[in-house]
């Protein structure tokens, strides 16, 4: 069932609001499935606990005061 859901997301841009222990497992799973992902967080997550991993997973990091501006993802 979960694999069907993930397949239904192919071709969509997906954003996560905030990064942390609760979002990382799904970010990893979605990345492994080849989905286009971004993380939006007021904190500079590129330098945080998960920054290097997010970069290695190919996740776009959008951070800072304007982290919610220009939202163009299909799913938040």
The CA-CA-CA angle for residues 24, 66, 11, to 5°, reads: 50
Q: What is the pLDDT of residues 23-73, one digit of tens each?
A: 999 999 999 999 999 999 998 888 878 999 999 999 999 999 999 999 999
Which pairs count as long-range contacts for 22-31, CB under 8 Å and 24+ apart, including other chains? 24/50, 24/53, 27/54, 27/57, 27/59, 28/57, 30/6, 31/57, 31/58, 31/59
20, 41 contact by CB (below 8 A): no
Q: What is the pLDDT of residue 38?
A: 97
pTM of the predicted protein model = 0.88
- Please give the Cα distance from 36 to 48 (Å, whole number): 21
């Amino acid at each position: 069932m979960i694999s069907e859901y993930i397949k239904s997301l192919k071709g969509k841009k997906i954003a996560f609001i905030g990064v942390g222990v609760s979002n990382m497992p799904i970010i990893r799973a979605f990345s492994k499935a080849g989905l286009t992902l971004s993380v939006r967080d007021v904190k500079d997550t590129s330098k945080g606990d998960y920054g290097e991993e997010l970069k290695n997973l190919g996740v776009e990091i959008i951070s800072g005061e304007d982290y919610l501006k220009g939202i163009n993802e299909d799913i938040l």
